[in-house]
């Protein structure tokens, strides 16, 4: 790696570390003022943003990017408004920093509790979705963290334009502009250096496809808060209410195809399969969902194609659904433990014991009873905006909002106590 690039990225890390100390002690009102001023600047600079974005979009088209890519990259009047509104909504969320919990007096006389504090410096690596620049920076700022943002190179001009509005917000609130730094080199080596800055960067949040996340997890020398993939299951238990099961299983698959909390595999108890699968399959067929089933499923749904072992572990992100008929709850639990991605899994049942077992025994970041997997989302959970959904087990599991960008330290209030005294 070129030493000048190492020096440049290291300096960003040092600047972020220094700014983080000031961000951690900034008052709620100062942080909110910065968020609101940034939102105002985004609205005011709407035309500048659209122009910068048009350059990126034109370039991406020249590079032959597909229409889904262009969609994600494109800013509109509406999406700029949504970004500004997002920052204002973050300003309205409660400030997590400084919360003190669990204070208790110990036999020695000291009082011990925990105080919520920012993580410090957060590096966010994402693909060519310019709106992430504003969302991620806003969440980091509100939670008292400094951030270093590295968006997809195809969105460079858009991100720079958004960053200018964010920096103006910091400036107006008298906060150090190094609280939000945008890495504007398109050199991929820069990311490798950034995620190796142990001691300067406290956590890396990769947002994007599986390839990006795996590459960063491999490279990182600092902790990674990551979401690998979502192979989400719905299990229709023998006792499920059939109209409810059809409604929920349909929603879990078809409300949106491309999201990580979309159901990818449907498990059905053998006792209820003959009643629930045919009408449900008709509903999927009407919406153009391709069904892939095991042998038992294909006896009930003649138009289902055979599922292979690969299907059980595939996140389609598309109108395709794998279906398997299982003998009982234990078989469903085994299937999920073996093929699942510990993201979100749901049971549809009217059986108390089975519902309780499913809730306890499925080791996923969200486990649901009688609800659509599509609810696994920061807004739906009441966290406000989310920086992502974590399928890791340490620190934050599931949707990660402001609290997930903080940590808790111990505080001890004494009166001159000594140990062994």
CB closer to its own copies out of 25 and 188: 25
Residue 205 C-beta: closest distance to its own copies, Å: 11
CB closer to its own copies out of 46 and 247: 247
Distance between CA atoms of 323 and 305, rounded to whole angstroms?
10
Residue carrying the six token digits 């491309």: 258
Q: Could you tell me which residues come within 8 angstroms of residue 98 by beta carbon, excluding any fewer than 6 positions away?
A: 115, 116, 117
For the residues of 181-249, what is the DSSP string, one character each?
Answer: EE-----HHHHHHHTT-BTTB-EEEEES-HHHHHHHHHH-SS-B-------EEEEE-TT--HHHHHHHH
CB closer to its own copies out of 54 and 112: 112
Cα–Cα distances in angstroms (integers) from residue 259 to residues 9, 327, 344, 373, in the given order:
33, 29, 12, 10
CB closer to its own copies out of 2 and 94: 94
Handedness of CA 97, 99, 102, 108 (dihedral sign): positive
Binding site for its own copies (CB under 8 A): 21, 24-25, 98, 104, 106, 108, 110, 112, 115, 117, 119-120, 202-203, 223, 225, 241, 244, 247-248, 250-251, 255, 337, 346, 359-361, 363-372, 374-376, 380-382, 392-395, 397-399, 407-421
Residue 39 C-beta: closest distance to its own copies, Å: 24
Structure tokens at 32: 């909110």
Strands 146-150, 180-182: pairing is: parallel
CB closer to its own copies out of 295 and 334: 334
8 Å CB contact between 383 and 142: no
CB closer to its own copies out of 74 and 251: 251
Residue 390 C-beta: closest distance to its own copies, Å: 10
Residue 7 C-beta: closest distance to its own copies, Å: 20
Q: Which of 180, 182, 175 is nearest to 32 (CA)?
A: 175
Cα–Cα distances in angstroms (integers) from residue 346 to residues 66, 251, 287, 394, in the given order:
34, 12, 22, 22
CB closer to its own copies out of 296 and 369: 369
State the DSSP code for 66.
Answer: -
Residue 257 C-beta: closest distance to its own copies, Å: 13
156-172 and 46-62 helices cross at what angle (nearest 10)?
160
156-172 and 131-142 helices cross at what angle (nearest 10)?
30
CB closer to its own copies out of 147 and 304: 147
Residue 13 C-beta: closest distance to its own copies, Å: 15
**Residue 274 burial (CB count, 10 A):** 12
CB closer to its own copies out of 114 and 299: 114
Q: Give the bridge partners for 321, in sequence order.
A: 291
**174 φ/ψ sector (left φ>0, alpha ψ -120 to 50, else beta):** left
């Amino acid at each position: 790696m070129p030493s000048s690039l190492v020096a440049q990225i290291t300096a960003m890390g040092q600047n972020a570390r220094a700014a983080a100390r000031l961000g951690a002690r900034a008052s709620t009102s100062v942080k909110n003022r910065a968020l609101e001023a940034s939102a105002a600047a985004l609205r005011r600079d709407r035309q500048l943003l659209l122009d910068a974005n048009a350059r990126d979009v034109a370039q991406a088209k020249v590079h032959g990017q597909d229409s889904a890519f262009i969609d994600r990259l494109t800013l509109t009047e509406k999406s700029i408004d949504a970004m500004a509104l997002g920052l204002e909504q973050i300003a309205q969320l409660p400030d997590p920093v400084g919360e003190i919990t669990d204070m208790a007096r110990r036999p020695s006389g000291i009082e011990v509790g925990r105080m919520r504090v920012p993580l410090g410096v957060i590096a966010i690596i994402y693909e060519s979705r310019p709106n992430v620049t504003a969302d991620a920076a806003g969440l980091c700022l509100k939670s008292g963290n400094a951030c270093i943002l590295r968006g997809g190179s195809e969105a460079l001009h858009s991100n720079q334009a958004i960053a200018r509005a964010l920096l103006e917000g910091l400036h107006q609130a008298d906060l150090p502009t190094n609280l939000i730094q945008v890495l504007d080199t398109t050199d991929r080596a820069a990311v490798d250096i950034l995620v190796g800055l142990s001691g300067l960067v406290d956590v890396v949040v990769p947002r994007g496809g599986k390839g990006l996340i795996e590459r960063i997890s491999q490279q990182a020398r600092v902790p990674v808060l990551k979401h690998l993939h979502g192979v989400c299951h719905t299990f229709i238990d023998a006792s499920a209410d059939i109209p409810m099961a059809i409604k929920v299983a349909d929603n879990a698959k078809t409300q949106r195809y491309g999201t990580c909390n979309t159901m990818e595999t449907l498990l059905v108890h053998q006792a209820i399969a003959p009643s629930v699968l045919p009408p449900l399959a008709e509903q999927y067929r009407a919406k153009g969902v391709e069904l892939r089933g095991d042998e038992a499923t294909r006896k009930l749904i003649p138009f289902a194609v055979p599922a292979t072992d690969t299907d059980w572990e595939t996140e389609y992100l598309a109108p395709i659904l794998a279906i398997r008929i299982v003998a009982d709850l234990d078989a469903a639990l085994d299937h999920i433990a073996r093929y699942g991605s510990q993201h979100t899994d749901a049971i549809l049942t009217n059986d108390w014991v089975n519902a309780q077992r499913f809730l306890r025994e499925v080791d996923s970041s969200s486990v649901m009873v009688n609800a659509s997997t599509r609810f696994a989302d920061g807004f739906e959970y009441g966290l406000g905006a989310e920086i992502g959904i974590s399928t890791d087990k340490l620190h934050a599991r599931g949707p990660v909002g402001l609290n997930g960008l903080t940590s808790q330290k111990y505080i001890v209030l004494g009166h001159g106590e000594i140990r062994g005294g």
